Chains A and B, each alone.
Chain A
Amino acid sequence: MAFDTATELSTVGKARRRFPTGHVITYTVLVLGLIAWIFPFIWMVLGSVKTQQEMLQRPPTFLPENPTLDYYVSWFQEHSFLTFFGNSVIVALFTVLGNLIFCSMVGYALAKMEFPGKKILFGLVMAMLMVPGVVTFVPLFVMVSKMGLNNTYPGLILPFVTSPIGVFLMRQFMSGIPEELMEAARIDGAGELRIFARIVLPLCGPPLATLGILTFLGSWNNFLWPLVAAQDQSMYTLPVALSLYSIGQEGTQYGLLLAGAVLIITPILLLFVFLQRYFIQGVATSGLK
Chain B
Amino acid sequence: MSSTTATGVAGVTNPGHRAPSGGKDTIAGAKRRQALIAWGFAAPFVIIFAFFMLIPLVSSFAMSFTDFNARDVQTPLAVGFIGLDNYIELFKDPNFLQSLAVTGIFVIIGIPLTMTIAFFLAVALNNGISRFRAVFRVGFYAPVVTSIVAVSVVWRYILNNDGLMNMVLGWFGIEGPNWLNDTTWALPSLILMAVWRNVGTQMVIFLAGLQAVPPEVQEAAMMDGATAARRMWSITLPLLRPTILLNIVMISVGYLQFFEEAFVMTQGGPLGSTTSVAYFTFGKFRFGEYGMASASSYVLFIIIAILAFVQFRFLQPKD
Contacts and interface: CB of A to CB of B under 8 A. Distances in A.
A40 B154 contact: yes
B59 A280 contact: no
Interface stretch (A73-81, A201-209, A219-227): A219-227
Contact of A279 (B46, B141, B163, B196): B141
A283 B138 contact: no
Interface in A174-228: 179, 183, 186-194, 196, 217, 220-221, 223-224
Given A115-B38, A268-B146, A44 B153 contact: yes
Contacts of B57: 128, 131, 135-136, 139
A152 to B, nearest CB: 15
Contact of B41 (A139, A196, A287): A196
A47 B157 contact: yes
Given A105-B44, A280-B137, A47 B154 contact: yes
B190 interface: no
A251 to B, nearest CB: 7
B110 interface: no
Given A109-B41, A239-B149, A30 B3 contact: no
B39 interface: yes
A43 B157 contact: yes
A94 B80 CA distance: 39
Interface residues of A, number: 114
A239 B150 contact: yes
Q: Which of B147, B151, B158, B304 has the most CB of A within 10 A?
A: B147
Nearest to B150: A261
Contacts of A1: none
Interface string A238-281: 11001100111011001001101110110011001100100110
A288 B209 contact: yes
Contact of A146 (B73, B243, B259): B73
A70 B307 CA distance: 50
Interface in B15-62: 31, 34-35, 37-39, 41-42, 44-46, 48-49, 51-57, 59-60
Given A41-B142, A131-B57, A247-B264, A258 B35 contact: no
A106 interface: yes
A265 B9 contact: no
B6 to A, nearest CB: 5
Nearest to B290: A138
Contacts of B107: none
A10 interface: yes
B86 interface: no
A261 B154 CA distance: 8
Q: Which of B9, B133, B163 has the most CB of A within 10 A?
A: B9
Contact of B138 (A131, A179, A251, A273): A273
A96 to B, nearest CB: 15
A197 to B, nearest CB: 11
B136 A288 contact: no
B160 interface: yes
A217 B246 CA distance: 22
A279 B167 contact: no
B160 A167 contact: no
Nearest to B134: A276
Interface string B275-306: 00010011001000010011001101100110
A139 B60 contact: yes
Contacts of A40: 143, 151, 154-155, 158, 196
A265 B52 CA distance: 29
Contact of B257 (A41, A134, A189): A134
Contacts of A137: 56, 281-282, 285, 297
Contacts of A288: 205, 208-209, 212, 242-243, 246
Contacts of B126: 10
A254 B153 contact: yes
A117 B60 CA distance: 25
B267 A158 contact: no
Contact of A242 (B150, B246, B290): B150
Contacts of A265: 146-147, 150-151
B37 A192 contact: yes
Interface of B: 1-3, 5-6, 9-10, 12-14, 31, 34-35, 37-39, 41-42, 44-46, 48-49, 51-57, 59-60, 63, 73, 76, 121, 124-130, 133-143, 145-158, 160, 162-164, 167, 196, 201, 204-205, 207-209, 211-212, 215, 218-219, 242-243, 246-247, 250, 253, 256-257, 259-260, 263-264, 267, 278, 281-282, 285, 290, 293-294, 297-298, 300-301, 304-305, 308
8 contacts: A47-B154, A114-B31, A136-B60, A162-B45, A187-B10, A220-B147, A264-B149, A287-B250
